[in-house]
A and B are shown apart, each in its own frame.
Chain A
């Protein structure tokens, strides 16, 4: 009860600048012109879109499937499907979000095929409270990643994220690694905004808990 400011949410000037900015009209996204050209048969325009987003699509697929060959196949399939379904893209969302949604669907389909006995969906493993309450309160070293070589660190990060349920690591990947907004992530995954937020919280907390083993300060206070 320390601050008693009467903030009215209608007043745009009271909002943080990054939120106020999104409420103002934005110019059309440059991708839209490329999409229009591609729809009209210009394959070089489509190739430019592939060039722009192949990395993001590949990483998303690899994070979800945890398999490099699958990620390569999925990346090809995503762009080929997008090309074939280009007329269905109406520009209501960003082109990149539309691509990511196709990539998520393709990746989950791949996972389902591989694990025939287990069902894989965005709703998996969200019923329990497991991992949603922090247990480890150790402080970390100032630049903990510097204690590991690049390849050791990559291995730690891969192993750690691979341990999360697919639904959680997908939300974390889109939101925190690929920098989609909460709304874009929700759209790409066909989830509600609150559902994305709760998965994101759990994903972040579980990763934090697991990384703590590697990054915490040692008892002696040495490096």
Chain B
């Protein structure tokens, strides 16, 4: 057992720091900076796609290097990026797409040119995703599918160019069979998007209606009826990403600084025993989960889907993210309730309650916590339900 970073790792760390410093945003056209950043990262050694395997142009980092990257980018900040193409669809195409599909879609994903959205959930299929009903019927000549149905909670559907979509092609057999993984453009007739406003007041999710959308068969990933298997691997990828542990470490530092800026008596809020204790408990949990992630990183070899232990990371990681938001709201005191308009109170309080409300989704999307616990029950504890 050894957790010291090697000399090579430390050199790498210095290199990453240098790169992030050199390319930090200094004002001006943010979108131009963003595109340039990814270009520079690519030139640096395929740092624009850290998690992609070497075969598909990734840097082939060791687990330690991934750890260093995560830690440093959380601190320095990186350009805005969407996970859907890069971290969700990408790995599915690499594992199950045809060579033609890989060549067609991966370069644009990598270049951040095409935005994707994830069309899994439906009004009747949330936690029980396999019960999805969006129908895809193969045309008589076998050239295309005709898609009809409704997706819900589709993040960024309103700005996405393409969707990767789970559809039902057969009702025979168990419900996990008969699901087919299709790719098609969002900006076409027959695709209608309705915004859903969430409690923070923002518009990120949508309901999406498909009526007679034609999808050429070459846009089917893998075999008809095997979409569930492909999607399951993808969900496990999503679950590690969602834990956001490096970000939480940075956010916790931020929380402490905020609390120190709030005056209480002769000291600050960080001197108030009850508040300080809550921050300390949070930090202890975070210290542990950081190493849970490291342990999981150490066993995962790059490119393969992380195993069921990733469920623990999502559960713990999202709990920590939510507690940080809650304590930040608390540190803002009653000013956290203001919806703009006030000058009094700390600046960070402005979005306090909005931020807290928005954080409630962390334990719902990407597999709700209760369902994650079911997975751990079955896959890790090995408990099978005994039907009587």
Genuine A/B complex? no
Q: A interface vs B, CB < 8 Å?
A: none
